[in-house]
Every structure is written in structure tokens, then in C-alpha cells.
Chain A
């Protein structure tokens, strides 16, 4: 039942993968491609991190992210303001892209995880399970939360000698969000998730 016959997506070797236990990972014996990994807690753990990440993301969008003080003047940056300022500088496509990569796509991914895992844990069938599962694996390579955190650190070092920079509540919320987001995604065992979806829709 829980033996899954697949083919490696990197070298096309047919492989059979049994149900993994917590902490185990399945890799292709020929090319080494990591097929999937299982964490203890699995779906429940992913749901918990996804909910935490959504709360932190909401916080990160409401409060000041960074503040900058020089010669008695001060300017404050918030996450939504990054897009607003790019847009008013005539860079609307860049504004959409940046906000999409660091806020919208991650938020969508988290929403999908919640919408998938809640019915799956209750063994209930929901009409959106299959499309939501597809959307999740289409979007998951297009979030750049971790890259943005590094970007913030680089910016801080760049301006540290020009002026005083103050880290706002949103900055810490976003860092926490990043940690929870990565944990929520990496707690999902792709094979297990699809087996559960199949079980609930069959």
C-alpha cells in the first residue's frame, strides 16, 4: 500500500520507495537526486509552522521594518513601502516582482499548506485538494524569503557608516517568518502529501 513506484526525475531510473519514518530521506541510488524527506511530526508540524509564519508575516507588513537617521532627519521603511517607492520611481514591474517574491508568493504557499493539511488531517475530502497540491509545487521554487533576509543584512552593512539604522519590529518578525516558512515547507514529505490527497479524493 505505502510502497510508491516512481522514476527519478533527474536520471529516469525506476525506483520503489517505501513509507519513510521521521528523519529519513529518500535519494536516487544512481544519481543521488533527493526525492523526498520526512520529518517527525510531518503534516502537523508543517501546519503549525505555516500558521506561525502567517501571523509573523502579517506583523512584518504592519510595523516599521527599518528606520534611518542622519543629520537630524529620519526616514522609515515598511515592507509595503518598498513596492510603493519602486512604483513611484517608475519601476512598476520591479515593484510587483519584489513584492511577489518576498510577500505574495510565500503567503500564497502558506495559505495552500493550511488549506491542504487541515482537511487531510481530518481525513475529509475537499474539492480543492488536487488543484491546491499542484499549485503548491508550481510555486515553491519562486519564493525568495531567505534571499531577502540576506539582502537586508547586506543593506545594513552598506549604510551603517552613513547613518544610524534602527531595526524595527517588522524586521524581527520577517526573520522569524523566514525561519517558520522554511520549516513549514521542508516538513512536507511530497510523496506522503500526495498519497494522503489520493486517499482523501479516491
Chain B
């Protein structure tokens, strides 16, 4: 492979180990210090990221349509969805908590899906947006990802805690599993995207 910008380590055939940061010739295939596989760029980065993003987007549908938990109170059972839970919290006046759940369960996963899709698209189309800004955007998607798990943990805690026989009981719904899937798959998608691809276009425009 050629065509790496002159300022990159890859242009000199050098790869930096993802595990221990050792810089070594890629021709060795394995890091001489820790034995992890060496690559100039993450293999099939765009393809893998796109596939994982599509999976996450598909899982996002049942995660929002199906109930995330069911409350059984004196024989009555009420299903609640992720958005339903947010609306209920707003009705009860718990605005800060409603905001936490809305940000963690709606804004973050959707934002992550859109940001990573856009990054993939911008790399494939050699879009001239600032390299630094795009790398920053990538870092945000990387850091923020795991916080979406909050709602799944809330369901877990409520299920384990609220167990009062026939009086009051909370059971998990399928959306909890689907949503946990969304979080895990988007985290994998962020991990498989290689931000160095953004910088491989350095020759295209002047930064």
C-alpha cells in the first residue's frame, strides 16, 4: 500500500502498536514487545464500522418500540418504553433525571450513530472538513458511548429491588436487551473506526 501522506509513520512502513504503543516496522506483523497484531491501519475499518452501525440502527427500533420494563401493581400491569419513561419523569416533575435518561438513552446513541456514519462517509468521499475537528468528533463518540448503558442499569436495579410479592413487582422487557445491544454494538463500531483514515487525506487540501 502506498499513498500515505509524507508526515505519517505509515509512509515509512512503521506501525504503532495499539496495545503498548511500540512503533515497529509493519512487516513484522506482530509487535516485538507485546505480540499484538500490527497494522498500518485497522483492517477493513470502514466496512466493519458501517456493518456495525447498520446493526445498531436496526436494534435501535425494537429498543424503542418494545417495553423496557413492566410494572405489575395489584394485578394491573403497565408496560413502559424508554421514551415513555422520560415522559413519565417529566410529568412527575423530576426534570434533572428525565434529562439524564433522555440524553443517555436518546441523544447519545442517535448522535453516535449519526456522527460515526458521517465520519465514514466523509472519509469515503474525501470530504474537506477540518481533520482536527473530525478527530475531535471521533473522540467524543468514543468517550460518551458507555454512558448510554444507564437506562439498562436502572431497569436491572428496579427489577432486583422491587419485589413485593403480588403487591408490586417490576419485570424486565425485551427492549432492555435490544438497547444493551445498541450500546455494545455502537461501542464496537467506534472501536473499529480508524481516525488515521481522516489524516490520510492530508494531501488533498491545505490545513
Report how many residues on chain A are interfacial, defined by Cβ distance under 8 Å: 63
Residues A12 and B157 in contact in the complex (CB < 8 Å), given A137-B19, A194-B20: no
Contact A158 B160 (CB under 8 A): no
Bitwise interface map of B from 141 to 152 toward A, beta carbon under 8 Å scored 1, else 0: 000001101111
Quick one: closest A residue to B157, CB to CB? Answer: A155
Q: Name B163's contact: one of A4, A85, A91, A97 (CB within 8 Å).
A: A85
Contact A147 B150 (CB under 8 A): yes
**Majority secondary structure of chain B interface residues (helix, strand, loop or mixed):** helix
A104 within 8 A of B: no
Residues A5 and B23 in contact in the complex (CB < 8 Å), given A10-B138, A11-B135, A68-B162: yes
**Once bound together, how far apart are the Cα atoms of A10 and B143, in whole Å?**
14
Nearest CB in chain A: distance from B145 CB, A: 9
Give the interface segment out of A71-79, A108-116, A177-185: A71-79
Within 8 A of B (CB), among A26-73: 30-33, 35-36, 66, 68, 70-71, 73
**Once bound together, how far apart are the Cα atoms of A115 and B22, in whole Å?**
22
**Once bound together, how far apart are the Cα atoms of A91 and B157, in whole Å?**
14
Report how many residues on chain B are interfacial, defined by Cβ distance under 8 Å: 65
Q: Name A14's contact: one of B9, B146, B187 (CB within 8 Å).
A: B9
**Once bound together, how far apart are the Cα atoms of A12 and B12, in whole Å?**
11
Contact A134 B164 (CB under 8 A): no
**Once bound together, how far apart are the Cα atoms of A137 and B160, in whole Å?**
32
**Once bound together, how far apart are the Cα atoms of A130 and B17, in whole Å?**
14
Nearest CB in chain B: distance from A83 CB, A: 8
Give the interface segment out of B29-37, B50-58, B59-67, B117-125: B29-37
Nearest CB in chain A: distance from B196 CB, A: 4
**Once bound together, how far apart are the Cα atoms of A138 and B89, in whole Å?**
37
B106 within 8 A of A: no
Contact A33 B161 (CB under 8 A): no
Residues A144 and B146 in contact in the complex (CB < 8 Å), given A5-B23, A12-B9: yes
**Once bound together, how far apart are the Cα atoms of A133 and B21, in whole Å?**
12
Within 8 A of B (CB), among A93-140: 93-94, 97-98, 101-102, 130, 133-134, 137-138
Residues A10 and B158 in contact in the complex (CB < 8 Å), given A147-B149, A148-B153, A151-B153: no
Contacts of B160 in A (CB 8 A): 77-78, 81-82, 84-86
**Once bound together, how far apart are the Cα atoms of A32 and B139, in whole Å?**
10
B110 within 8 A of A: no
**Once bound together, how far apart are the Cα atoms of A10 and B187, in whole Å?**
17
B47 within 8 A of A: no
B115 within 8 A of A: no
Quick one: closest A residue to B35, CB to CB? Answer: A130
Contact A101 B158 (CB under 8 A): no
Q: Name B153's contact: one of A9, A78, A98 (CB within 8 Å).
A: A98
Residues of B within 8 A of A (CB): 4, 7-10, 12, 14-16, 18-23, 33-36, 89, 92, 94, 96-97, 100-101, 131-132, 135-136, 138-139, 146-147, 149-154, 156-165, 167-168, 171-172, 176-177, 180, 184, 187, 191, 195-196, 198-200
Query: Assuming A8-B16, A11-B196, A94-B172, what are 5 further A-B pairs, CB within 8 angstroms?
Result: A31-B195, A66-B161, A98-B153, A154-B100, A157-B97
30 A–B pairs (Cβ distance < 8 Å), ordered by A: A4-B21, A7-B16, A8-B16, A9-B196, A10-B138, A10-B139, A11-B135, A11-B198, A12-B9, A13-B199, A31-B195, A33-B135, A73-B167, A75-B162, A82-B159, A94-B152, A94-B180, A134-B35, A144-B153, A147-B147, A147-B149, A151-B150, A151-B153, A151-B154, A155-B158, A157-B97, A158-B89, A159-B158, A161-B92, A197-B34
